[in-house]
Structure 1
Amino acid sequence: MKHAQQRQHVVDLCIELSHRGYFAGTGGNIMLRVDAGHVAVTPSAIDYFSMAAADVCILRLSDLRQVEGDRAPSVESSLHAGVLRARPEVGCSIHTHQPVASALALLGAEIPVPPEWHAALGPRLPLVGYAPSGSGWLASKFRRAVRPDINAYLMRNHGILCCGHDSAAAMRAVDDLETLARRLLSQRIGARAVGSAAGLRQALWRMHDALNGRSPS
């Protein structure tokens, strides 16, 4: 099996993302650059804990022609390829439905990023408008949003995509985005609670506490 190390690395990343709560079932996918012209991508509709290295697909980046692997590649391959084609320095992209950052995407607006997260995420979180999962329409929308200084993107009603120069940088962006999303949503909920009617205020503070890992009082 060619590219065995990179294919196993994709499996290991999927398992780690599942343990962190960012992947679930078959939701989420990864693309990893293996050389100048080829990428490894997760297969479509396979549970991460049953996935083997041989299941990971090797595609030609230029046209996404499959050159290795018997499984069908992720339906989001075009989404990832748009990033790796536009940014040759990017070695890995990760698409998740991670819970808190995905909730941030539902706000329907671009989000400024505080300076302490600029290195990992970039100065802002662009919002890519909704299009059906796996569609050329979504890939086209996302491709137009890609910028050289931005490593995290919100997709309305669909989740997020993070990238980095290697898998460690992409994973760090995923983690940092979830932390940032938790802070921003916590701030919004707290501000909404102030001045709200008693019943709503209590519900909002319970949500606020849950978001910050505190047991409801």
Structure 2
Amino acid sequence: MKHAAERRQVVDLCLALSRKGYFAATGGNLMVRIDDALVAVTPSATDYLTMTPEDVCVLRLRDLARVEGHLRPSVESSLHARVLAARPEVRCSIHTHQPVASACALLGLALDVPPALIGSLGPRVPLAGYAPSGSRWLAGKLARVVSAQANAYLMRNHGVLCCGVDSDAAMRALDDLEQLARTWLSTRIAGEADRRPERREALLRVQASLLANVPHESAVAPAPTPSPSP
């Protein structure tokens, strides 16, 4: 099997993301750069808990033609390819529907990042406008907000994409984005509870549930300020 190391890496990353709750069944996808010409990407509609390295697709980055692998590549391949093409230093791109950050994507607001997390996420988490999943339209909307300064992106009504110079950096960005979103949503709920005393008890129960199971410690301190979508 050609490109065995990168295809095994894709499998290992999918298992790690499933354990975190960021991937579920066939939901979520990722791409790993092999070299300047080739990438490894998750296959379409394949349960990540049963996926093998042989199932992982190898594509040409420039046109997404399949070079290796017997399954169809992820329908989101063009999404990742636009990021890797625009950011030559990026070696890993991950798209998830992780719960808290995806809630922020539903609200349709970009997030400003506190200083402690700028090294991981960049100064701002941009928002890409809505387009159907798997479409070139969505890939184009994301491409318009991709920049060298941002390693995390919200996609309206869809989910998130994080990238990094290696898989560790991309995974850290996912974790930091989730905690950033948790802090921002908690602050928003608390403000709503203050403004609406008749719903305060219910809102504070929601806030307590949100904060009950924090998966990793983060250096987030002040709540970020939401930014309007471009």
TM-score by length of 2: 0.91
Q: Any idea what SS the aligned residue of 1:71 has?
A: coil
* Whole-angstrom distance in 2 between the partners of 1:129 and 1:17: 25
* Residue 12 (structure 1) aligns with: 12
| Secondary structure of 1:49 counterpart | coil
Cα distance between partner residues in 2 of 1:46 and 1:72 = 10
Q: In the alignment, which residue of structure 2 is the partner of 1:106?
A: 106
User: Residue by residue, what CA displacement relative to the aligned partner does 1:52-84 show, whole Å, maximum 9, x if unpaired?
Assistant: 000000000011110000000000000000000
Q: Aligned AA for 1:209?
A: A
Unaligned residue ranges in structure 1 (runs of 5+): none
Q: Specify the code of the residue in structure 2 equivalent to 1:104.
A: C
- 1:195 positional shift: 3.7
- What displacement does 1:31 show? 0.2
2:23 counterpart residue number: 23
Aligned to 1:136: 136
Structure 2 counterpart of 1:211: 210
* Aligned equivalents of 1:101, 1:7: Cα separation in 2: 27
Deviation, 1:137, is: 0.5
Give the match for residue 126 of structure 1. 126
Unaligned runs of 5+ in 2: 214-230
What is the one-letter code of the residue matched to 2:127?
L
Compare 110-119 and 86-95 and name the one that shifted more.
110-119
- RMSD between aligned alpha carbons? 0.9
Corresponding residue number in structure 1 for 2:79: 79
Determine helix, strand or coil for the equivalent of 2:67: strand
Alpha-carbon displacement from aligned partner over 1:117-163 (angstroms, at most 9, x marks no partner): 10000111111000000001001111111100100000000000000
Q: Counterpart of 1:48?
A: 48
Number of residue pairs matched by the alignment = 213
Look up the equivalent residue of 1:165 and give its one-letter code: V
Supply the AA of the counterpart residue of 1:137: W
Q: Distance in 2 between matches of 1:190 and 1:109?
A: 18
* Aligned sequence identity (%): 63
Distance 2:195 2:162 in 1: 36
Q: Which residue of 1 aligns with 2:146?
A: 146
Structure 1 counterpart of 2:173, one-letter code:
A
SS in 2 for 1:7: helix
CA distance in 1, matches of 2:136, 2:63: 13
Partner of 2:225: none
1:62 corresponding residue in structure 2: 62
Query: Aligned equivalents of 1:211 and 1:146: distance in 2?
Result: 29
Residues 11-58 of structure 1 deviation map (CA, whole Å, 9 limit, x = unaligned): 010010010010111110000001111000000000100100000000
1:141-180 matches, cutoff 5 A: 141-180=141-180
1:105 Cα deviation from its structure 2 partner? 1.0
1:57-114 CA distance string (max 9 Å, x none)? 0000011110000000000000000000001000000000000000011221221111
**Secondary structure of the residue that 1:62 maps to in structure 2?**
coil
Q: Give the distance between the partners of 1:21 and 1:28, measured in 2 at CA.
A: 11
Distance 1:184 1:80 in 2: 27
When normalised by structure 1's length, the TM-score is: 0.96
* TM-superposed deviation, 1:167: 0.3
